[in-house]
Every structure is written in structure tokens, then in C-alpha cells.
A and B are shown apart, each in its own frame.
Chain A
Amino acid sequence: DAGVIQSPRHEVTEMGQEVTLRCKPISGHDYLFWYRQTMMRGLELLIYFNNNVPIDDSGMPEDRFSAKMPNASFSTLKIQPSEPRDSAVYFCASSLLAVRNEQFFGPGTRLTVL
């Protein structure tokens, strides 16, 4: 298996632009997670899905952030409009069963908003 796939690996954009991050989870995994990592705040959970249904989005910072999972093999995290404080590494992870299972992380997308 190829593992969790994220694209793009790096994104540089200007303030106010729309940014879309993409994730393909490991086939057969029922849970998908989006995290954001910064030096100041560490690794923070933004939202997670179970069987394509959003379960907890309390970590989504504000209405500028949205996430979708249209099918079991694809998810997007969108920021519109982007701001410099959104600069971070965004990780997608998936797991097989319950929340306590091992999470398999993708390589991350490094987002820089100028």
C-alpha cells in the first residue's frame, strides 16, 4: 500500500487566495483526520470523519476553513480566504477502526501564506 497520500507537498500563496489541500487515505480505513502543526501550538486536530461523515469539527479555527469527504478515497481541506496566520504544515491521517487505533499520517502539506 502507498500509505496516506497528500497533495500538494508545498503550497505558497498570497493572502486572500483560496487554498485546497487534498488527501487520499489508506484503502479500507474508516477514519480520516486533518491536523495542523505549528511550532507555537504543536499538532492540533481540526476535524475527523468516520465512513465519510464528519464527526467532530470543533477544531476548525473559523468559517474560513471547510473540509469534505465525498467518498472513501478522497478528502479536501479548503481555506478561503487564506491569511498569513494559516501558515503551517497540514497533515492528513487515517486509521482502520476505532479512534484509539494507530493513525497513519501522510507526509504533510507545508502551506505558506504571504
Chain B
Amino acid sequence: TQLLEQSPQFLSIQEGENLTVYCNSSSVFSSLQWYRQEPGEGPVLLVTVVTGGEVKKLKRLTFQFGDARKDSSLHITAAQPGDTGLYLCAGAEKLVFGKGTKLTVNP
């Protein structure tokens, strides 16, 4: 059983569309991190959320931490081909990762 469940597992959209991916757990985390991984490379940190209900924005990416600190979402506005990659959420203090959402943005 995965401690962090990510959905959807795969997502293929057209350039310009909006999307949301989710990271859910039955456990409470003091903080969650989102990473992006491109083919042939290691994951790269995008953001860390630490407060329940927190919203952080990184250009066209919006990250939200659930009030109960058991879930998080990532919303991308007007997706671009450069957003293509595997998005991973991670429970920082437990050093656990979800399996990720593989996003493909088609031109």
C-alpha cells in the first residue's frame, strides 16, 4: 500500500489547457513537497508546503496543502509543452514519494 496516492497516473492534454493533479494520504504530514522529473534525470524540487490550507504559486503552477495536512493538489494554468514530465509528491519527514503523475502536454 502506497502511503501517498497520486492521481491521475497519466495525463495527456493539449497546450493551453488547465489541469489539476492530486496527492492523497490517510496519514498526516507536517509538510509535503512536489518534485518534477524529466526523462533521464533526477527529480527537481518545485515547492514545499508546510501549513494546512496553504497555497503557493510558482508562475503558472498553484500548489495547495489540505487543511488536515493529508492531501495536496497541483494546478497548472495554460499548460505548455515544457511542463511535460513526471510530477511527484513527497512526504518530507517520512521520506516517502508517491508514484507520480506522468503529464504530457502536446503542442
Per the bound structure, the CA–CA distance linking A114 and B81 in Å amounts to 36
Complex contact A103–B97 (CB within 8 A): no
Among A27-53, those with CB < 8 Å from B are 33, 35, 41-45, 48
Which of B2, B30, B43, B93: most chain A Cβ within 10 A?
B43
B44 contact set on A, CB distance < 8 A: 105
Q: Is the CB of A45 within 8 A of B96?
A: yes
User: For residue A38, which residue of chain B has the nearest CB?
Assistant: B99
- Rounded to whole angstroms, the CA-CA distance of A99 and B41 in the bound complex is 22
The reply to whether B45 and A108 form a contact with Cβ atoms under 8 Å apart is: no
- Total inter-chain residue pairs, C-beta < 8 Å: 47
Question: Are B95 and A107 touching (Cβ within 8 A)?
Answer: no
**Selected contact of A4 from candidates B42, B92, B97, CB within 8 Å:** B42
- CB <8 Å contact, B43 and A105: yes
Q: How far is the CA of A105 from the CA of B99 in the complex (A)?
A: 17
Q: Cβ of A106 < 8 Å from any Cβ of B?
A: yes
Partner of B42, one of A41, A42, A44, A107: A107
Number of interface residues of A (CB under 8 A): 20
What are the interface flags for B11-54 relative to A under an 8 Å C-beta threshold, 1 for contact and 0 otherwise?
00000000000000000001101000000111111001000000
Chain B nearest CB, measured from A101 CB (Å): 8
Which A residues touch B92, using CB under 8 A?
A: 99-100
| B76 at the A interface (CB under 8 A) | no
Given contacts A33-B95, A45-B96, A48-B95, contact A102 B45 (CB under 8 A): yes
Q: Are B31 and A108 in contact (CB under 8 A)?
A: no
Find chain A residues with CB under 8 A from B31 CB. 100
Beyond A91-B42, A105-B44, A107-B42, is A42–B93 a contact (Cβ under 8 Å)?
no
> Chain A: residues with CB nearer than 8 A to chain B?
4, 33, 35, 41-45, 48, 56, 91, 93, 99-100, 102-103, 105-108
* Closest 5 A/B residue pairs (Cβ): A105-B42, A42-B99, A100-B92, A43-B97, A102-B45
